[in-house]
Structure 1
């Protein structure tokens, strides 16, 4: 499945010491679990390696974004995750990196032709967008292809 790159110096700060990282990231995903059973994360040199069984490709994508949008994580490796229903991960065009000046309204206008559809983006990213007014440059999110 592979390795997904992120910007390591942005995002939610969950740990200050490397030795706290694995437990902190595992707990973060487990608290708002998008559908990854037996989830565990090992963090080494900025790479978060997720292990477990995802119920769907969408659940795995959400776990990837949850881990990758944490300060100090520059890559997420999912080679040790199985997707129970056999779905493949979506192509990169479903992921979007927020740019300076972006709003969810503007992103929805580009993706769907209507800014009012930003709620679909929020719903698809509820694990990483807790407040629609608090997104930041470098944050990576999912853009659902169909509504």
Structure 2
């Protein structure tokens, strides 16, 4: 995946206007949400750019970690190249194919999960697939906001 862009002024306000502890705050949020699905997690925060390091148990866990970090107010970019998927091959190749990776989608004004499901799957009733894939990022399927990024599972 690499570098993902986010809206810096949108997202969960974890920092409360205070600076100096951003990396630890983001790390705690990812570990709280993903638990043992990430290990040896290292976070660097530099002026709105987050760099993730460590190991994720699956491609989905890696994608979720990047989204949790990026959907934080004050974060504009997330680099997840240092977050490896457990069991992935080295030297730039992975065991995960493009067809099993999720796509990313940025919520726009007027969007609903049903509308997004209709657009991507052809059936508005598939909104729950999107909700379940983003449960760590979306607490309530009726409470999404413009600028929020989510996963659209393959």
**Across the two proteins, how many residue pairs are aligned to each other?**
145
Tell me which residue corresponds to 2:107: 98
Indicate yes or no: 2:3 matched with 1:3.
yes
Aligned equivalent of 2:85, options 83, 86, 89: 83
Give TM-score scaled by structure 1 length. 0.91
Shift of 1:93: 7.0
Shift of 1:89: 7.5
Per-residue CA deviations over 1:68-98 (Å, capped at 9, x if unaligned) read: 0000000011232221121348588711111
Aligned equivalent of 1:39, options 29, 41, 62: 41
Structure 1 distance, partners of 2:31, 2:73, is 18
Structure 2 distance, partners of 1:134, 1:62, is 18
Structure 2, gaps ≥5 residues long: 89-94
Query: What CA RMSD, in Å, does the superposition of the two structures yield over aligned residues?
Result: 1.8
Indicate yes or no: 2:129 matched with 1:120.
yes
* SS of the residue 1:95 aligns to: strand
Structure 1, gaps ≥5 residues long: none
* SS of the residue 2:51 aligns to: strand
